[in-house]
Amino acid sequence: MLKAKVGHSILSDSYEAGRETALSAAKGLRNSKLGMLYTSDVYEQAKVIEGVKSVFSETPIIGCTSCGGVIIPEGVIANDDGFSAMMVLDDKDMIVGLAASPKKGDARKMGQRLALEAIENSGTNQIPNYFYMVASPKEEESYLKGIEDIIGRVPFFGGSAADNTVSGNWKIFCNDQVFSDGCAVAFFYTDKLMGTEYTGTYHETENAGVITKIEGKRTLVEINGTPALKQYGKWTGCKPKELSKNNLLGTTILKPLGVKSAIGDFTVIRHPMFGNDDGSMNIGNDLATGVAVVQMEATVDELISSTKKATTACKNKIDTDPACYFLVHCGGRKVGIGDRIGEVHKAIKAVTKDVPFITIFTFGEYGYQEHNGNICGGLMLSFTAMSEK
């Protein structure tokens, strides 16, 4: 049977925060197989892990920094001096293989190496049933392609590391490794069910066009042959100042872009992040020319209510009693929700009841929906329920 415990701390000392987090998550566990750890970017992360390892000396640890806080059953855990939370999975029959590396060479080839290493570290020589990935918000799609080169399309979940100020102070950690740019994975070998609801919950508007020019993989230069910022401004009525430089990040939280799957049954969100002087916009995920792009919309009320719907949906996908929930919530959505973030806790708690959960805030969300492939997106929810049996 799978059990889970969640611990947390808001102590300012990095080591003591890690130790308190681990102690509060350790009660009643005998076969801990993985600790999923999420912290404030103000901490010295190596010290946090040292504190965790003082309690869980043999348990593998994986995780990242979270944007501005986390949500656990007790409520929203946020503190300017630091916060830490961890969900520990306990199951005598579960096998977990971890692998991690700071960025080295080609991202796709690195993904291949990580997949092979995670399999080797599992001791199984088998393809996993599910996998978790955390990466820097930069080349997630390439890491994913590399992993899938080795194991094929295995259901996955996770999200990108984040910080409090979008300043690049995020960190990824895996056991004793801590780095800012790179990727870490956890391969799960288990007969327990995992059901993921991957959704943006935005509405499509009538504003749509075709991506006609990009630079690199993540700079949207033109839509319908028109500078991207000009076309977006025409669609939304936003003033040029609202779209310039870092202003674009906040402006687009309630009015992002979306690209549809091949048969139109799923729309993945693309978050415009930075407005450039030449009229192009930096996007949080990879793009391609010739692809239709749709302007999406949602209200703050809808962003909040979507968390209850997504929690319910992932619970229904396992069709049995859940042992825990691992909920990846976009940090940008959190910023858009603002001081009403407590309502998100209430919405989630209405579904989870007394079942343990942890909600982290990321700068990219990973998952799959229905029969679509594994996808990396932004401004999304990747909510996963794990079964007891």
Query: What pLDDT is attached to residue 266?
Result: 87
Query: What pLDDT is attached to residue 349?
Result: 98
Query: What pLDDT is attached to residue 372?
Result: 84
Q: Which residues, including other chains, have CB under 8 Å from residue 26's CB and lie 6 or more apart?
A: 5, 7, 32, 55, 56, 88
Weakly modelled stretches of the chain, pLDDT under 70: none
> Which among 370, 344, 371, 375 is positioned nearest to 359, based on CA atoms?
344
Q: Alpha-carbon distance 333 to 302, whole Å? A: 11
Query: What pLDDT is attached to residue 173?
Result: 96
Query: What pLDDT is attached to residue 28?
Result: 85
Query: What pLDDT is attached to residue 222?
Result: 98
Enumerate the H helices of the chain as residue ranges: 14-26, 45-53, 107-122, 140-151, 228-236, 240-243, 247-251, 300-318, 331-337, 341-352
Give the global pTM: 0.97
The one-letter amino acid code at 176 reads D
Half-sphere exposure of 27 (CA within 13 A, CB side): 7
